[in-house]
């Protein structure tokens, strides 16, 4: 992989990381807010209807799951940036072959080529 290509991936990874950090901040606020109460304009902290409580709980669970996914992606992005610095970016950590450019464009922080990702259960079927 050329130095220019590595720099392009570095910029793409930084941009993706910055976007995820913004999403993370927004989702944190959503996931950690209380159900009902002041956030919904009510004087009470109890939703009006049991279905509202269920909806609030479901939305909170979804937001927490998205936060977890974003956190994991941010860790993978940091690891990919480290691989760029070490000169191992774009090389499969399993078979040590070059990762295809199409795969790197789709998942720039990937550690594995498409074949190894499938074998390890980390990629498309």
pLDDT in tens, 33-66: 655 444 455 545 555 666 666 666 777 777 677 7
* Whether 108 contacts 13, CB under 8 Å: yes
Pair (104, 78) in one structural domain: no
Q: What is the pLDDT of residue 54?
A: 66
**122 with 66, same domain?**
no
Same domain, 69 and 122: no
Q: Which letter does DSSP use for residue 87 in this model? A: T
- The total number of structural domains in the chain stands at 2
**Which H helix or E strand runs over 80?**
helix 50-86
| Closest C-alpha among 123, 124, 107 to residue 13 | 107
Q: Say if residue 109 is in the same domain as residue 79.
A: no
Q: What is the domain range of residue 82?
A: 3-88
Q: What is the pTM of this model?
A: 0.70
Q: In this structure, are residues 13 and 19 in contact, taking their beta carbons and an 8 Å threshold?
A: no
Q: Are residues 75 and 111 in the same domain?
A: no
pLDDT tens digits along 78-117: 999 999 999 999 999 999 999 999 999 999 999 999 999 9
Q: Let me know: does 22 contact 29? Beta carbons within 8 Å.
A: no
Round to whole Å and give the CA distance between 97 and 115: 11
107 and 71 in one domain?
A: no
């Amino acid at each position: 992989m050329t130095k220019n290509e590595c720099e392009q991936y570095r910029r793409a990874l930084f941009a993706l990381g910055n976007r995820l950090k913004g999403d993370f901040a927004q989702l944190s606020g959503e996931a950690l807010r209380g159900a009902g109460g002041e956030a919904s304009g009510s004087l009470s902290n109890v939703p009006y209807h049991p279905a509202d409580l269920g909806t609030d709980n479901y939305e909170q669970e979804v937001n927490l799951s998205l936060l977890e996914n974003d956190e994991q992606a941010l860790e993978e992005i940091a690891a990919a940036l480290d691989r760029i610095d070490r000169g191992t970016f774009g090389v499969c950590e399993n078979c040590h072959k070059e990762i295809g450019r199409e795969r790197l464009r789709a998942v720039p922080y990937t550690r594995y080529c498409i074949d190894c990702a499938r074998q390890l259960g980390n990629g498309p079927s």
